[in-house]
Structure 1
Amino acid sequence: MGVSAMSIETWTLAEAKAKFSEVVDKARASGPQTITKNGRVAVVVVSAEEWERKTRRPGNLAEFFAESPLRSSTLEVSRTKDAPREIDL
């Protein structure tokens, strides 16, 4: 569903509390529902499917590093062999 097909509706907190089931149904059917508190946007209710689609990350950390353009660079990082510093407790 594209953004243009979504009907983003705004609810006051009182309306959202009184009609929570409707807010959820509209989020699932029509797209994100904005809830305001004291006249300011407080939260947006989205369907679980929309949340998963927006937060899904392709691949994993190992793949990210393997595909890095820095992998073939000649950058060399050296570490000191010093012992850990002493801390007074």
Structure 2
Amino acid sequence: MKAIWQLQEAKARFSEVVERALKGEPQLVLRRGKKAVVVLDWETYARLTGEEASVLEALRPPKTLPNEEVEALFQRQKTGFREVDF
């Protein structure tokens, strides 16, 4: 994280802190020299917290699986028929 602000400076230049966060650059704010908060854009926050994700989106892998992996996941074992007594 490149942008680190002291609280007083972040307050004085809040518009700049927000603009940088909107460009996808997390902004770290220190209070009394210790890490206090991070300012993020909404999309990043929603992705990290799952705020806007439906159940399907939350369970979906981050990238599409290759067909071979999908087939391996859902492959049924081929077994013979079994004899049944009536």
Q: TM-score, normalised by structure 2?
A: 0.57
- 1:42 partner SS: strand
Give the CA RMSD over aligned residues: 2.1
Q: Are 1:50 and 2:44 matched, yes or no?
A: yes
Measured after TM superposition, the shift of residue 58 of structure 1 is 5.6
Q: What residue identity is the alignment partner of 1:44? A: V
Structure 1 residues 8 and 53, CA gap change in structure 2 (3 angstroms): farther
2:7 alignment partner in structure 1: 13
- 1:44 partner SS: strand
Measured after TM superposition, the shift of residue 31 of structure 1 is 1.6
How far apart, in 2, do the equivalents of 1:49 and 1:9 lie? Answer: 19
Query: 2:4·2:28 contact (CA, 8 Å) conserved in 1?
Result: yes
> Which runs of 5 or more structure 1 residues have no equivalent in the other structure?
1-6, 64-89
How far apart, in 2, do the equivalents of 1:8 and 1:49 lie? Answer: 19
How far apart, in 2, do the equivalents of 1:8 and 1:50 lie? Answer: 17
> Which runs of 5 or more structure 2 residues have no equivalent in the other structure?
60-86
How far apart, in 2, do the equivalents of 1:14 and 1:31 lie? Answer: 20
2:32 alignment partner in structure 1: 38
Q: What residue identity is the alignment partner of 2:27? A: Q
Identity among equivalent pairs (%): 40
Q: What residue identity is the alignment partner of 2:48? A: K
